Amino acid sequence: MSDKVKIGIIGVGTIGSVHANNYAKVANAEVVALCDILPDRLAEKAKTHNVAKTYADYNALLADPEIDAVSVCVPNDMHAPIAIAALNAGKHVMLEKPMTLSAELGKQILAARDAAGKQLQMGMVWRQNPKARLVKEVIENGRLGNIYQIRVKLIRRRGIPGLGGWFTTKAKSGGGGLIDIAVHFLDLVMYLADKWEPTKVSAKTYSKFGNPINDYHYVSMWAGPPKADGVFDVDDYAAGFVRFGTETTLSFEVAWACNAEDESYVEILGDKGGIKMDVEGDPILSTEYDNRIADIVLKYDNKNENFAEELRMFCDAVQGKGEVPATGEQGVVAMRLLDAIYKSSELNCEVDV
């Protein structure tokens, strides 16, 4: 392998462009090929990112011997087939979240990885946020003590992306707000607290705002505009309660759309301290100091290079200089949890994870 990892990006929509822009910040990476099924978009992005090779078929890109690794940035239903094909072709894989549509498909990706002996990294970019890294350090230093309760709240008042497109079509996305945005924070808190064995879930999902599509009122829309003749058959709100054995619990509330103010945070409670990390502002450690109740505001270097750092770590792992920060096994745990949440909602009862 040369000094640079030769990258092919499969899917050059919004997130594919994010990958291309951030690989450009990674010293040991070079994007050498792009692939997309939309020829106009492919030509435009090839020009924007100064990439000479383009492919309309991902199989043709995977057959290119120059390419060492791929970023998979396509709709969720194509994650498993493309990731498996890439691993079978001997490529390392950077796989955007969510891992796939189900835990069973995730296990098939792991089997392909093991057979190929290649690197597989999940796109859980919040782990590389400097704020999250600070919280991880505080927890590892024992400042919280024994962790017993975790809270996740991720509320968008009107935040349905690409209404009527693949995001809101269950056959392509696997679900709505839960699988799209909650997966970030559910993965994050399991990583921060080092709790990777969820055992039971009681949850409910709702779909209240996407139908009819023309009646959805919003200020702005990521991946829009809406497609009036499209589909909305996914969840826009979910709430639930997760057990990790008998020692730790997690409560969550997530919404693509609801009649409430925007609010996004994770909170982790231990017997020595608790820490709250809001998307905005500094983390706050609630604890005791000299036998007094104290809130400590934690300052940090807020250099926001999350994606570049994630892709740097991936390239380092490909070159044998480190480990991937979000493993395929952890991706399967997250999918098992999502599967159980949807099952609990459907059955209206607590279920095993």
**213-242 tens-digit pLDDT:** 999 999 999 999 999 999 999 999 999 999
Percent residues over pLDDT 70 in the chain: 100
Over residues 50-67, mean pLDDT: 98
What pTM, to 2 d.p., does this model score? 0.96
The pLDDT assigned to 2 comes to: 78
Closest CA to 308 of 128, 172, 89: 128
- Rounded CA gap, 329 and 350, in Å? 24
Closest CA to 337 of 223, 220, 178, 181: 178
Over residues 115-129, mean pLDDT: 97
302 pLDDT more than 90: no
The pLDDT assigned to 345 comes to: 98
Number of H helices, E strands in the chain: 11, 15
**Could you tell me if 121 and 220 are in contact, meaning their C-beta atoms sit under 8 angstroms apart?**
no
DSSP bridge partners of 206: 237
Over residues 51-77, mean pLDDT: 98
304 pLDDT more than 90: no
- Rounded CA gap, 160 and 304, in Å? 25
**How many other C-beta atoms are found inside a 10 Å radius of the C-beta of residue 303?**
9
pLDDT tens figures, 310-353 = 999 999 999 999 999 999 999 999 999 999 999 999 999 999 99
Over residues 52-73, mean pLDDT: 98
User: Which two tokens mark 302?
Assistant: 């807020």
pLDDT tens figures, 174-218 = 999 999 999 999 999 999 999 999 999 999 999 999 999 999 999
269 pLDDT more than 90: yes
For residue 303, name the pLDDT band (cuts at 50, 70, 90): confident
* 90: region left, alpha or beta (phi > 0 left; psi from -120 to 50 alpha): left
**Could you tell me if 186 and 203 are in contact, meaning their C-beta atoms sit under 8 angstroms apart?**
no
- Rounded CA gap, 310 and 306, in Å? 6
pLDDT tens figures, 152-176 = 999 999 999 999 999 999 999 999 9
For residue 142, name the pLDDT band (cuts at 50, 70, 90): very high
Q: How far is Cα of residue 216 from the mean position of the Cα atoms in its chain?
A: 26
Hey, what domains does the chain have and what are their CATH numbers?
A: 5-126 (3.40.50.720), 133-306+335-352 (3.30.360.10)
**How many other C-beta atoms are found inside a 10 Å radius of the C-beta of residue 94?**
29
User: Which two tokens mark 108?
Assistant: 């098939």
For residue 1, name the pLDDT band (cuts at 50, 70, 90): low
**Could you tell me if 86 and 109 are in contact, meaning their C-beta atoms sit under 8 angstroms apart?**
no
How does DSSP assign 89-144, residue by residue? TT-EEEEESS--SSHHHHHHHHHHHHHHT--EEEE-GGGGSHHHHHHHHHHHTTSS
Average pLDDT score, the chain: 97
Over residues 46-65, mean pLDDT: 98
